[in-house]
Structure 1
């Protein structure tokens, strides 16, 4: 997919990139006014410098001031390559009504950096191509069953959702956003699907978020994956994918307590609430049983936490990539330097794996060099 490059303004020997200033500002959740105050400019001047066809480039000292205020390298602001545009309507934000505009823009910025990192990985490694199907128009439950068949999952519990996504070519990144309003989101960029997961969530909820975002990818490709109806569809897809009705139905007729639910949830690695809801949907629980269990679970605080929770899942692909770079003498800080990005932005998106020392002086895809091939197992 071709890129649309910004018309950058010339500086002595360098080029200032308005799209990168805008990304850095939105990632730091600063308004024009807030950034202007930090660098000693007017809000209008900052706004003008972000325009694609800015009539004049900022002086070198102003660029350095932007760099200090935003904690982004000067080289990032002077990099010629424009930042990929991600349209808001293509992103599966779950809580748009409760999300502040600054949080929404910052999340989209994280998506843009994720695409930037993936571009580097695509040029360095033989990444796994996507085979995520398009089930637009199908009932979510049927779509989940079809996907299990297509991906040869049977009815077994899914061992690791992130690994499953990566095995089928989904680019999975972590989010360190300190807000529950941005818990997870996904989008398609060309033929490549992306999922971003908030690392503040419990292991069970993160698994459900991953399945929920997969639901958006397969059900709403080419549409606008936002709104209550779309969220309900993605939830139904996730529930059936993680807890197939055929594996839940045999428990019909059993006597349930909150203690038995807490034991059973480990069969599917889901939250107690998610299991209760799926049992009600699968007619395993009567209305009275369902309401009773919801009341008990709520009193125990299980809407926001888990008892005897599972470990949060992480990216296998990112670990393999960073391990490979580490063996070549590459650290995450130098990787960030190579990408002209702040270390915190890179580490927060790659599940905060740590690697030691780096040298990216020689290109991994130079002529005659074979790019490392990455494989993911279930």
Structure 2
């Protein structure tokens, strides 16, 4: 018998309304509601129709209840501008990430979470405290994805049909998760990663409820991210005054692997340039097209943990399709969660090879 919550999850994952699914399988919208609440059972024939229309394997609907992310404990970057349907699709993708993460945990050990609870700190102090705790000092961070993973944070990609979401993060019991939009520039993705780290430490268990719509939490997360990626001591030592043009920013930003616009804003925060200069810099950046296409863009940061898992699976002939079968989801969902983070298998199970960082991933 189909598990009612899985019907709702698959529908939301596809960004479909109850009426939309009802029309596709030939029932009344109220019937879908009754299916999803468990008020009435789902026949084998209907379950097959639902599986076909939502493009999920039938076995997915026969599984146990799934641990799902909730709006009230997920922090979305730029949440206020996103529709409920988009957020629901992203959260449904997060539920599938939980299934994949649980599958990984059954076979591999990874670093334990080591994130400070800084809920009573201001964002600038919190950024410095986290750097000190992680023994980074004031030096630039080479790879944000690697850093988060080394501190026990699970990092996954946002799926293609949720690419309007910049990023989101949440705690699942004692495990922190970050979901990054891999369609953005690497510089912006790094800032998003630091932004979500702020939510995990400053706003633990805060979510997309009414209080979250107040953009003060977003401002705090942005301030944390700027200070975390571009420490004041290092910025003042490197960026020598006067800063004459955006070309100066273009040269300096390479040290911290951030966008030109992020460095421009950080310099304004530190009063190293005036408000007027900051604004004129943005105008010039826009004229040059730098706000759409980052100049001197850096290579996308990949996951060393997920890549090592995939490489080990390859060595044991465990393909993407086999992983998907093990957790009863479409193979494309697995691919979407790893998109841009690991060199994934093709849909037919053939391997894609590329150099990767050597790590010692422990089998359980």
Matched residues, number: 345
Q: Is the 8 A contact 1:249 1:283 kept in 2?
A: no
Change (3 A) 1:372 1:301: closer
What RMSD in Å do the two structures reach over aligned CA positions? 1.8
Which residue of structure 1 aligns with residue 338 of structure 2? 350
* Stretch of structure 1 that moved more, 121-130 or 93-102: 93-102
| In the alignment, structure 1 residue 274 sits paired with structure 2 residue 292 | no
Give 1:239's aligned residue.
Answer: 226
Give the 3-state SS of the residue equivalent to 1:16 in structure 2: coil
Structure 1 segments (4+ residues) deviating >6 Å = none
Identify the match of residue 34 of structure 1 among 11, 15, 20.
20
Q: Unpaired segments of 5 or more residues in structure 2?
A: 350-359
Given that 2:78 and 2:218 are in contact with CA atoms closer than 8 Å, whether structure 1 keeps it comes out as no
Partner Cα separation in structure 2 for residue 230 and residue 304 of structure 1: 26
Shift, 1:180, TM fit? 5.3
User: Which of 26, 51, 55 matches 1:71?
Assistant: 55
* Aligned residue number for residue 176 of structure 1: 159
Q: Partners of 1:108 and 1:179 in 2: how far apart?
A: 9
2:131 and 2:361 mapped to 1: Cα distance?
A: 29
* Structure with the higher fraction of residues in helix conformation: 2
Q: 1:332 to 1:179 in 2, by over 3 A?
A: closer
Deviation of residue 328 (structure 1)? 0.9
Where does structure 1 lack aligned partners over 5 or more consecutive residues?
1-14, 359-370
1:318-369 Cα shifts (integer Å, max 9, x gaps) = 10111111111111111111110001111100126323888xxxxxxxxxxx
Indicate whether 1:58 and 2:42 are aligned.
yes
Q: TM-score, normalised by structure 2?
A: 0.90
1:305 to 278, 293, 297: 293
Superposition pairs of residues 1-378 of structure 1, within 5 angstroms: 15-51=1-37, 53-55=38-40, 57-79=41-63, 81-178=64-161, 181-224=164-207, 226=212, 227-250=214-237, 251-351=239-339, 353-355=343-345, 373=362
Inter-partner Cα distance in structure 2 for 1:291 and 1:46? 52
Of residues 220-229 and 243-252 in structure 1, the stretch that sits farther from structure 2 once superposed is: 220-229
**Alpha-carbon deviation of 1:19?**
1.0
C-alpha distance in structure 1 between counterparts of 2:207 and 2:80, whole Å = 16
Give TM-score scaled by structure 1 length.
0.87
Deviation string, structure 1 residues 149-179 (Cα, Å, up to 9, x no partner): 1101011110100000000000000013345
Q: What displacement does 1:120 show?
A: 1.3
Q: Distance in 2 between the 1:298 and 1:305 partners?
A: 10
Query: Do the aligned residues in 2 keep the contact of 1:32 with 1:46 (CA within 8 Å)?
Result: yes
